[in-house]
Amino acid sequence: QNRNAILVSNRQKGNPLLKYIRNVRWTFADVVCDFLLSQTSCALYLSLRYHLLHPDYLYYRIRELQKNFKLRVVLCHVDVEDVVKPLLEVTKTAMLHDCTLLCGWSLEECGRYLETIKVYENKPADIIQGQLDSDYLSRLTHSLTTVRHVNKTDVVTLGTNFGSLSNIMGASMEDLARCPGIGERKVKRLFDTFHEPFKRVE
Amino acid sequence: MVLQFHQHIITELLEDTNGGLVILSSGLSLSKLISSLLLLHSTSQGTLLILSPSSASLKSKINFHLKTLNPQFYQIPVEITADLPINHRHSLYSSGSICFITPRILIVDLLTNKLPTSIISGIIILNAHSVTETSTEAFIVRIFRSLNRTAFVRVFSDRPQAMVSGFAKAERTMKCLHIRKMHLWPRFQVYVSQELEMDPPDVVDIRVPMSKYMVGIQKAIVEVMGACLKEMRKTNKVDVEDLTVENGLFKSFDEIVRRQLDPIWHTLGKQTKQLVSDLKTLRKLLDYLVRYDAVTYLKYLDTLRVSESFRSVWIFAEASYKIFDYAKKRVYHLVRSDGMKLDETSKGVKNKKKKVKGDNKDTEEADVTSSTSSNGIVLEEVLEEAPKWKVLRDILEEVEEERQKQGMLREEVLAEGEDTSNGIVLVACKDERSCLQLEECITNSPKKVMQDEWKKYLLNKVQLRDVVHKNKKKKSKEPKGFGILNGVTPISPAQNTETSGVNKQEHDALMAAASKLRNLAENNHVVEDTPQSNLEGHVRGKGKRKLGNRNGPIIIDDSGVQSNNKEDVTSGKMGMSDTKNEAHMDETSPVSAGRFCETEHGGISVDDTVLRRHTCPSAMAKDGKPLPPVHFYALESDQPILDILNPSIIVVYHPDMTFVREIEVYKAENPSKKLKVYFIFYEDSTEVQKFEASIRRENGAFESLIRQKSMMMIPVDQSGHGLGLNFTPDSDLNTAQNSITRKAGGRKEVDKEMQIIVDMREFMSSLPNILHQKGMRIIPVTLEVETMVRYYRIPVLLIEFSQDKSFSFQSASDIGDDVTPNSIISKLSLLALHFPRLRIIWSRSLHATSEIFASLKANQDEPDETKAMRVGVPSEEGIVESDVRAENYNTSAVEFLRRLPGVSDSNYRAILDRCKSLAELALLPVEQLAEIMGGHKAACTLRDFLDAKYPTLL
């Protein structure tokens, strides 16, 4: 079968969600889950509005899946105003039956989850470990903005004023304070980040 | 001397032994009020706990006043934090003294019964305005009240505006803190105004006209702001009454707007969101217009243009063009070399113009890329000085003349240390930057200051040119990959916009001026742009850079700068402790106040040099007129400067309501002192408007509070009963302490007693408070959380939304067409893929979370705290559990480190072990890094990143 496509259960025929799966191919197939994303991962789709009408539906669907998958996603479309109670029920069902709950507030968002899980099937976990773009400015911004309230404009200001990160790190409070837009509190936060020891207690 | 109205406040407050809420006008010295109140405390009453305020300066001011009010009162309150071992904390709790305590450790000790509540005389909270039903303060008071009904809870705020934001804020605050009485002390209260207006200081109000271009810029900004507000009104999403330019001048405007927009944030279009952020930018631009010099202002605008994204609405507004144009004209304009002006509109600037000589030739030699079309276009410096500068100088000269007439100068030189009316002039500016700059204006000359800023500006540009140039030719020999190779990308759009016609010529002319300057600088000091990776080279490079940029007489000698820096490092920690105040007290010299709390000592030496220069007749200002000793003070640094310095002349350079009140208080406390105050306002500026509006706003807030007070419904048993479960009747109080905290009212839904083990760090959040409200027992312990997936069968991620904000990540229109690595969807998907056992809870609000927890726990065994603590703790010998706690780390530094290229999960711990701080890391040569990080490649990556030259913009 087609490995690069999402296999969609015939049950989902007519689901408007399918319109929004555009970045990966998909095809109908006879599968027990709603969406077969890879050999080891699958997803069930549930609209909260539907859940309110058929509270047992999710449970039976999960039971059908049996233990064949490593990752079992319950993709919940939040399409009602009063969410607290139904969402609690869905959360509980998903958790007690070993499913990962993902919520989307629009069909676009739900579709994007399916696409992403498929596209990222073999992707390493780099980006959730906090390593983003590799160009200099992004990385500099990425690191400097760990200091609270330091924003992109400040990063540019610091960069142009000191010329390099090591100069920024070595800057005195006075020098930092000379930068337009860097107020007292930012100066202190930056300075403390650079000069307070990593370990507070030896 | 204690102020009379402070005594009134205290008397009124003490009438009710259960406590009360005091709200006073800002600037009426909350810190002194607290100190006077604390002096009434005696050990026999029991221990008095003050919740440590988040602002360290308030705490240090309280300590300062405690000492001045009563020099015999040696016992400065100790601070109880999580760092103190439990037995130490216990002895402090039972000492009967006054202690500052962080809310987090107080709630933990209350929950674990480590605090003997019966011997606590009361609790003082200093930030009433930030307390809500879900905050830790409310949690603390609820538990505390359940265990001790007689002690007092006294709550203060000097931010009345913040007390009226949101619906019935004051009343709700009082309810959740179990307080029945509210005491309002506005500036217009009769006791206050009588005392402060009895013998007011001499006030000289000086209105300085702004320069033509400043007026133009201000007008343009206000115009654009108006346009943005109009757009905003069209959206019909924000209350029209709030959308005024006057409101737009204040920071609180963002809050007003966000409060209304947050619940529907995801439904807003990009345009509206952009408007919100544009208004913020515009407010800053207005503010900086009167604070920054012309060159810095232009530089800031340049920076904005590059960083603020081209999506901004305002940048394209027609009036915005004027902002940029006028800002530029304050700095330079272009003329043909035959002297004809290129731009006709720029006539009428009367400042002296200095032509950059020999520009053309240099252009041809140095600037290879400049095209022939640039021939004949020359840059003319305008370098408009801030109009206030001259006024300040005039004031200082006048003051000095006066002083000399009175023959004070001689006396002072003789009796240097011990003069009480020391003739010091205090100049108060908003920020540190202005202080430094004004100081240079006074010691050197305004012209010099402008020249220096201009040089810096140009040098920034020429550096960019180099970067681009090198890049075009080939990769440079050095492997400085980051800056040179990749850093250039964001610049190209800015450049592209400048390629056409006049812009191109302007650009070339700027470059020419810059490279000429740079060559000059390079001849003097060879270092400039060689980021060395060895240590000495680095330090030297820095020192020289300073020289190069100033390019002239330097105020402080090089060694002085170095030692200052070192002091900064060492005294960083000290500043937080009490030793600092001793420094204040011990130094009788009139210059004892440094500007930053933490750089006390560094600050002194700087000021010393300046002051000596001024008091010494031979080192007069350049134009020969003598000046009095001046101390520059940044309002931002928030110190008891008036009490430290005891000035008799104050120049309020940037008007500020709070500071004006502080002056009034200072005068009332020293009735015999002759005090003269100069206010320097820009005429018809938003600066004036803002100052006046701030007073109106505060009065308005008080009027509203007075109304609220008259209609308030506070239940009578607020003082002891209710246990903080405002909604449910409480259970029997007379049982043992622990069971009370456990039951805490026991809501119906919870049948059996549930308990939840909460990590200590989580007490910064409101969830423990809400869980407790729901009737669960909260057990604080320290958990090893980082390894959750490894040690628990069902690890769960809780995604909780704020009640007041929309329940969704993003609107459908924000999702975009492609799968992008930065989106939250991608991150969650990856998380799910990599941790398939991870469960996710989506919760609408804090309260929903507590429902979910209760429901999930319904048929499960209760957790065991001793087991919980052992989870994830390495059992090998020598590794103690407390060593790995996050609170022992400078977490922002560690996080910063981990984000640096070359630093990985496997080597960052080694860096923490072998390197003290980021600043130290920045100086390590690559070989040493390689040794620490266990690899040459990683070390090179890191070193290169640290030294990569920042691509200059524009």
User: Of the candidates B890, B893, B953, which has its C-beta nearest A160's C-beta?
Assistant: B953
DSSP state at residue A15: -
Confidence of residue A34 (pLDDT cuts 50, 70, 90): very high
A14 in Cβ contact with A5 (< 8 Å) = no
Distance from CA of A30 to the nearest CA of B (A): 24
Closest CA to B139 of B858, B854, B846: B846
Residue of B nearest to A156 (CA): B303
A169 in Cβ contact with B919 (< 8 Å) = yes
Q: Which helix (H) or strand (E) holds B560?
A: helix B558-574
Q: Which helix (H) or strand (E) holds B184?
A: strand B182-185
Identify the residue among B309, B574, B840, B908 best suited for mutation to test binding to A, counting A beta carbons within 10 A and taking the highest: B840
Is A68 buried (19+), middle (13-18) or exposed (0-12) by CB count in 10 A? exposed
User: Of the candidates B602, B896, B950, which has its C-beta nearest A163's C-beta?
Assistant: B950
SS (H, E, C) B626-681: CCCCEEEEEHHHCCCHHHHHCCCEEEECCCCHHHHHHHHHHHHHCCCCCCEEEEEE
Higher-pLDDT residue of A100, B502: A100
Higher-pLDDT residue of A37, B726: A37
Residue of A nearest to B808 (CA): A105
Query: CA B886, B888, B892 angle in degrees (round to 5)?
Result: 65
Type of residue found at B768 = P
Low-confidence ranges of chain B (pLDDT < 50): 343-374, 415-419, 468, 471-500, 526-620, 718-750, 787, 874-886, 954
B598 in Cβ contact with A176 (< 8 Å) = no
| Distance set, CA A107 to CA A8, A88, A111, B931 (Å) | 16, 21, 6, 52
Q: Is A181 on the interface with B (CB under 8 A)?
A: yes
| Distance set, CA B689 to CA B57, B240, B575 (Å) | 28, 21, 36
| Distance set, CA B926 to CA A198, B162, B360, B906, B938 (Å) | 20, 51, 43, 18, 10
Distance from CA of A14 to the nearest CA of B (A): 21
Residue B557's pLDDT is 36
Residues of B in contact with A201 (CB under 8 A): 83, 888
In tens, the pLDDT along A121-131 reads 887 776 666 54
Tokens of B229: 């507000």
Residues of A in contact with B83 (CB under 8 A): 200-201
User: Of the candidates B819, B823, B900, which has its C-beta nearest A23's C-beta?
Assistant: B819
3-class secondary structure, B338: coil
Cβ distance B830 to A127 less than 8 Å, yes or no, reads yes
Distance from CA of A1 to the nearest CA of B (A): 22
Residues of B in contact with A140 (CB under 8 A): 950
DSSP state at residue B376: T
User: Of the candidates A76, A166, A199, which has its C-beta nearest B946's C-beta?
Assistant: A166
Residue B708's pLDDT is 92
In tens, the pLDDT along B852-903 reads 999 988 878 888 777 777 665 543 332 333 333 445 778 788 888 988 988 8
Cβ distance A195 to B569 less than 8 Å, yes or no, reads yes
Tokens of A11: 């049950």
Instruction: Give the sheet arrangement for strand A35-36, strand by strand.
Output: A25-29, A5-9, A35-36, A41-47, A71-77, A100-104
Cβ distance A125 to B830 less than 8 Å, yes or no, reads yes
Q: Is A20 on the interface with B (CB under 8 A)?
A: no
Q: Is pLDDT at A76 greater than 90 in this prediction?
A: yes
**Among residues 80-119 of chain A, which lie with CB inside 8 Å of chain B?**
83-84, 87-88, 91-92, 94-95, 98-103, 105-109, 112-113, 115-117, 119
Closest CA to B624 of B916, B789, B393: B393
Cβ distance B894 to A198 less than 8 Å, yes or no, reads yes
Distance from CA of A59 to the nearest CA of B (A): 16
How many Cα atoms within 13 Å fall on the side-chain side of residue B374?
26
Residues 6+ apart with CB under 8 A from B299: A160, A180, B457, B460
Secondary structure of chain B: what % helix, strand, coil (to 5)? 55, 10, 35
Distance from CA of B193 to the nearest CA of A (A): 32
| Distance set, CA A183 to CA A177, A189, B302, B680, B816 (Å) | 7, 10, 19, 22, 36
Cβ-based contacts under 8 A for chains A and B: 309
Distance from CA of A124 to the nearest CA of B (A): 8
3-class secondary structure, B532: coil
Q: How far apart are CA A132 and CA B953, in angstroms?
A: 22
**Long-range contacts of the stretch B475-482 (C-beta < 8 A, 24+):** B479/B940, B479/B944, B480/B531, B480/B944, B480/B947, B480/B948, B480/B949, B481/B944, B481/B948, B482/A135, B482/A136, B482/A139, B482/B901, B482/B944, B482/B945, B482/B948
Distance from CA of A62 to the nearest CA of B (A): 15
Cβ distance A102 to B840 less than 8 Å, yes or no, reads yes
Is ipTM strictly over 0.90? Answer: no
Query: CA B30, B31, B32 angle in degrees (round to 5)?
Result: 95
B926 in Cβ contact with A176 (< 8 Å) = no
Cβ distance A83 to B809 less than 8 Å, yes or no, reads no
Cβ distance B953 to A156 less than 8 Å, yes or no, reads yes
DSSP state at residue B486: I
Distance from CA of B860 to the nearest CA of A (A): 11
| DSSP line for B412-456 | HHHS-TT-SS--PEEEEESSHHHHHHHHHHHHS-HHHHHHHHHHH
Residue of A nearest to B901 (CA): A139
Residue with tokens 């065991």: B864
Residue B184's pLDDT is 96
Tokens of B400: 């000095």
Distance from CA of A55 to the nearest CA of B (A): 17
Residue of B nearest to A172 (CA): B565
Closest CA to A138 of A123, A159, A119: A159
Is B95 buried (19+), middle (13-18) or exposed (0-12) by CB count in 10 A? middle
B688 in Cβ contact with B681 (< 8 Å) = yes
3-class secondary structure, B380: strand
| DSSP line for A105-170 | SSHHHHHHHHHHHHHTTT--SGGGGT----SHHHHHHHHHTTSTT--HHHHHHHHHHHSSHHHHHH
Residue of A nearest to B481 (CA): A136
B897 in Cβ contact with B911 (< 8 Å) = yes
Residue B421's pLDDT is 59
B945 in Cβ contact with B918 (< 8 Å) = no
User: Of the candidates A88, A131, A198, which has its C-beta nearest B890's C-beta?
Assistant: A198
Cβ distance A163 to B809 less than 8 Å, yes or no, reads no
Q: How far apart are CA B601 and CA B571, in angstroms?
A: 8
Query: CA A109, A112, A117 angle in degrees (round to 5)?
Result: 135
| Distance set, CA B118 to CA B93, B146, B178, B627, B948 (Å) | 10, 11, 18, 60, 60
H helix and E strand count, chain A: 9, 6
Q: How far apart are CA A13 and CA A28, in angstroms?
A: 8
Residue with tokens 């020429």: B462
Cβ distance B300 to A181 less than 8 Å, yes or no, reads yes
In tens, the pLDDT along B623-643 reads 567 888 899 999 988 889 999
Identify the residue among B281, B303, B913, B929 best suited for mutation to test binding to A, counting A beta carbons within 10 A and taking the highest: B303
Residues of B in contact with A94 (CB under 8 A): 839
Q: What pTM did the predictor assign? A: 0.72
Residue A149's pLDDT is 81
Residue of A nearest to B549 (CA): A161
When computed from its CA atoms, the radius of gyration of chain B, rounded to whole angstroms, is: 31
